[in-house]
């Protein structure tokens, strides 16, 4: 049995915990581990794509062997986890590799199970003509083309190389988010920030007791302010005293407000709407529902269709077609309006309407019914009526 627990390169998604300066982060996986919004967006993309079901057909029948691999890739990962991880590899590294592990003693003619490989250790090798010839694993093992299922996002500079979802601009956005969170963490760890300072004009300065008395007086007056109806009260001091306001500067306020802009940009990078990445109380249900539909149709569906094509190219035997389920939910309101309009203008047969509703056809249902008070329009008859 294949030992997954001791083989790091198979189906592994490590989480980094070491401290690193945001400005020095370059690796996509480190961004994933340090950026809350980015990680959440990739989790959402991967979980939706991982839940998509695929069916292998040979003619009108299900191809049992191929369906087994699609529904139960291996004994270590569930189906959803397997394709979830494949999508994370694809987003972070621009490629995923799946080894078609052969059944022992079958000379590779039958696939036992599918194994995800760590893409950071796999390299595509090309011949002198620029054609893909084989795969090289960790500079040690070679895989033939028919042993690997792979899908990659081509780099515009060199289409043979995979490209992560993160370009340089996206990395700058994530570094900003990480810096913002580092700032907030430091403020929380320090117990807050100094908003202002009282200074006293004295030649000898204040004694320890005087400072202690002033602190106690300040606490009492703050307590009185909290208890008052106005919620505020003046702070009375004896002698000459000045107050220096150390509230946030406009630059600091702008820095903190930029977190909202970061969310906008990560949404644009990943194609995951803000309403999915964060909770907004003032978002209407209709707007959130439209955002979800847009996410499925504009972001998820193209990725699913590409994976469907990959599986048909590298996994499906001759004569077998692999199809992904339709992930776009049917718009019931739109369907009902269409049927209502079609009915009002007598544009559909009974069976056509039943088909749209998912119902079986009926006998004598292939004719269009029209109201009895409607007659065909005849141009000559209309002219005669007008002349009289």
Handedness of CA 139, 13, 108, 325 (dihedral sign): negative
CB-neighbour burial class of residue 236 (10 A; exposed 0-12, middle 13-18, buried 19+): exposed
Look up the domain containing 372 and give its range: 332-387
Last residue of a domain, one of 215, 245, 275: 245
pLDDT at 5: 41
pLDDT at 219: 76
What integer best gives the mean pLDDT of the chain?
78
The number of residues in the chain equals: 388
CA–CA gap between residue 316 and residue 313 (Å, rounded): 7
Last residue of a domain, one of 324, 340, 359: 324
Reported as a single tens digit per residue, the pLDDT across 132-151 is 999 999 888 899 999 999 99
pLDDT at 359: 75
CB-neighbour burial class of residue 285 (10 A; exposed 0-12, middle 13-18, buried 19+): exposed
**E-strand spans in 164-320?**
196-200, 241-245
Query: Is residue 250 one of the residues assigned to a domain?
Result: no
pLDDT at 132: 93
Q: Do 45 and 120 share a structural domain?
A: yes
Last residue of a domain, one of 306, 324, 342: 324
Between residues 183 and 89, which one has the greater pLDDT? 89
**How many domains is the chain partitioned into structurally?**
3
Q: With 60 as the cut, is the pLDDT of residue 236 above it?
A: no
Between residues 263 and 384, which one has the greater pLDDT? 263
Mean pLDDT value across residues 163-178: 91
Q: Name the pLDDT band for 233 (thresholds 50, 70, 90).
A: low
Q: Closest Cα to residue 316, out of 75, 146, 153?
A: 146
Q: Do 133 and 272 share a structural domain?
A: yes
Query: Is residue 4 one of the residues assigned to a domain?
Result: no
Q: Do 279 and 135 share a structural domain?
A: yes
Reported as a single tens digit per residue, the pLDDT across 1-51 is 344 444 445 555 554 444 567 788 899 999 999 998 899 999 999 999 999
With pLDDT > 90 as the criterion, what percentage of the chain qualifies? 40
């Amino acid at each position: 049995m294949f030992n997954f627990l001791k083989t790091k390169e198979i189906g592994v998604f490590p989480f980094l915990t070491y401290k690193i300066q945001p400005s020095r982060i370059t690796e996509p996986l480190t961004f994933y581990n340090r950026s809350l919004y980015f990680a959440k967006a990739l989790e959402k993309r991967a979980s939706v794509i991982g839940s998509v079901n695929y069916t292998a057909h040979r003619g009108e029948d299900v191809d049992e062997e191929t369906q087994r691999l699609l529904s139960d890739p291996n004994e270590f990962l569930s189906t959803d986890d397997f394709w979830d991880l494949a999508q994370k590899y694809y987003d972070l590294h621009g490629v995923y590799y799946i080894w078609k592990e052969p059944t022992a003693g079958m000379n590779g003619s039958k696939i036992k199970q599918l194994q995800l490989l760590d893409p950071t250790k796999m390299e595509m090798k090309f011949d002198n003509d620029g054609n893909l010839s084989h795969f090289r694993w960790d500079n040690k093992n070679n895989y033939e083309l028919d042993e690997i299922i792979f899908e990659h996002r081509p780099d515009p500079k060199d289409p043979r190389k995979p490209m992560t979802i993160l370009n340089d601009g996206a990395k700058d956005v994530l570094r900003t988010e990480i810096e913002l969170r580092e700032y907030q963490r430091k403020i929380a760890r320090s117990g807050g920030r100094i908003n202002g300072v009282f200074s006293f004009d004295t030649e000898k300065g204040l004694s320890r007791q005087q400072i202690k008395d002033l602190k106690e007086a300040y606490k009492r007056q703050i307590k009185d302010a909290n208890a008052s109806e106005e919620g505020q009260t003046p702070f009375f001091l004896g002698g000459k005293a000045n107050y220096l306001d150390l509230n946030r500067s406009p630059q600091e306020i702008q820095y903190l407000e930029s977190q909202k802009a970061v969310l906008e940009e990560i949404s644009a990078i990943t194609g995951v709407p803000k309403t999915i990445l964060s909770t907004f109380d003032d978002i209407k249900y209709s707007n959130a529902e439209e955002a979800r539909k847009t996410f499925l149709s504009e972001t998820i569906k193209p990725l699913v269709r590409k994976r469907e094509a990959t599986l048909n190219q590298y996994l499906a035997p001759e004569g077998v077609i692999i199809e992904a389920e339709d992930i776009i939910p049917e718009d019931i309101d739109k369907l009902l309006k269409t049927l209502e309009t079609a009915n009002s203008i007598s544009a559909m047969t009974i069976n056509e309407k039943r088909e749209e509703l998912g119902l079986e056809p009926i006998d004598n249902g292939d004719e269009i019914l029209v109201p009895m008070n409607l007659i065909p329009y005849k141009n000559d008859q209309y002219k005669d009526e007008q002349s009289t």
